Structure 1
């Protein structure tokens, strides 16, 4: 095959279709019509002698040839962009989507403020929030389907970069009027009152020491330090969403074991009462991670530059 006959624009179309697995979404990202994307794919299929993508009920599924091409082509396009020099990002006029993976409470704590900031500085930029709980997070970052993931990570492979956001530990929260409200909680109290905590996946889903590992990336599954929990404490309820906790506490005398950042948020917005733990728990660092491939992308560099301003959200 003569490489000189391949239009570079066709490879760019291939890259976006591979990431989106949907022609309509790819067309929006490329600012092209659906028919133009289909035509470009057809030209590339003819040049390579392969279907590249097969239409299925779940989207455009890549063939074996497309799977083998994807990563090298993505890296080559990134190198070409770096060699030519990327255009500066102009937030006031830019039109694009930023895709961020985050939990429900991170969305409330951090991303609603970021959204307000974008509305002021980049009114045509959209935020797309993906759940960081039930997806192959590392795989989504590898494919370029996610620009940024926010969470607590134990291991970060070298193909990803990380930026610390804030540090949190465990605290207790309870309803107003709880028998323990207004005084320090003791170890005996924790034995007397059952606990509710947040867990996104246990040992049955492959979690080890409170973390799930995928493709070398270990992300937090238990949103509390399970190892530090006293033997006498009783975990009555584990829920996958922190935002369910306030309503569950209002109708019971359970204590909620929560990250300190979440506890402060619920004290402020839900009227809960917070209390320190009667035992020592490890602190955990919340981080934003991204693929090294996006280093030097002016738009993503700008997006990451907005995050440090929001460390005050946990103070």
Structure 2
């Protein structure tokens, strides 16, 4: 890889790099960044020239990352998050009276984010802005962006969603997947393998009533499937269920650690024996509140919390 002079490096290219990596294609990256395909292709060519590596190789309709790209994606994502946090922190806060703030913030968050971040967020905000209040709401994924535009919700935390230039977003976290199962599960005395995990019935956690889960989609790509014993929208209920059955639940690693900790050793966490793409969560808000002092302050608290997660 070429030695890159950071003084001459166009940092905008890093956003293009992350979009191509996350979306897996030039077309999807162009849609995400609201740029033309030719602009994305041109940016990728500049990246390749500056980095001295192909970075992505075409495989059918997808762009597969090279080993160099796999090494770069983590540090680049972290750098972009830190830049965003710095920009938020530098936003002028004069005139914002936190002690007198009476705003009711309406958040649309998935169970994976709610259990991981919301309790600590409310604790911090209650201390700093004791008169502010919060509502954690459930909105169908296809309705989230509409509700941000209409003002029904103020912030949303979700996977990467297609959006227009009225919606702002920043990556919150990227998490890998684990299995959670009873501490007395028979699989724990067997060889830990994908075949062993799929031999037992599973709990699926999904906000939707029907359709395949993320794990099922990934398994299906390899011609595999799992048997679902329970479908629920709540990870805590799923954890409590596997504690008293021989079912298995897949969950994001950080969330699993947070929910398992107070369960007294009744469940254990094991790595999922197959490499899945990580769960990537993003924070969304409407452009009209981009510089609203109260909203900037709340986004800053959320970014600080997620950055501090192990």
Provide TM-score, normalisation by structure 2: 0.62
1:278 aligns with 2:278: no
Q: CA deviation at 1:113?
A: 0.6
Partner of 1:310: 305
1:209-264 C-alpha deviation (Å, 9 max, x unpaired): x6xxxxxxxxxxx3546223561533333222222112211221111111222211
Change (3 A) 1:184 1:303: farther
**Aligned residues: CA RMSD:** 2.6
1-structure distance, mates of 2:281, 2:141: 18
Kept in 1: contact 2:219–2:225 (CA 8 A): no
State how far apart, in whole Å, the 2-side matches of 1:195 and 1:105 are: 18
Match of 2:169 among 162, 169, 192: 162
What does residue 143 of structure 2 align with?
Answer: 136
| Aligned residue-pair number | 215
Give the match for residue 291 of structure 2: 296
Contact 1:160–1:292 under 8 Å retained in 2: yes
Q: 1:88 aligns with which of 95, 98, 103?
A: 95
- After superposition, the Cα gap between the structure-2 partners of 1:223 and 1:89, relative to the gap in structure 1 and judged at 3 Å, is farther
Q: How far apart, in 2, do the equivalents of 1:260 and 1:138 lie?
A: 27
Q: 2:242 aligns with which of 243, 249, 258?
A: 249
Equivalence for 1:19? none
Kindly name which structure, 1 or 2, has the bigger radius of gyration based on alpha carbons.
Answer: 1
1:227 paired to 2:218: yes
Where in structure 1 are there 5+ consecutive unaligned residues? 1-84, 211-221
Per the alignment, residue 194 of structure 1 pairs with 201
Q: Which residue of structure 1 aligns with residue 44 of structure 2? A: none
Q: What SS does the corresponding residue of 1:155 show, helix, strand or coil?
A: coil
Q: Contact 1:184–1:276 (CA<8 Å) still a contact in 2?
A: no
Q: Which residue matches 1:36? A: none
Comparing 162-171 and 296-305, the one that deviates more = 162-171
Q: Match for 2:121 among 114, 124, 127?
A: 114
| Contact 2:111 2:233 (8 Å CA) reproduced | no
Q: Is the 8 A contact 1:223 1:258 kept in 2?
A: no
Residue 108 of structure 1: how far off its partner (Å): 2.3
2:254 is paired with a residue of what secondary structure? helix
TM-superposed deviation, 1:169: 2.3
Query: Residues of 2 paired with 1:181 and 1:193: CA distance?
Result: 12
Question: Quick one: distance in 2 between partners of 1:250 and 1:169?
Answer: 22
Contact kept, 8 Å, 1:198 with 1:240, in 2: the verdict is yes
* Preserved CA contact (<8 Å) 1:109 1:313: no
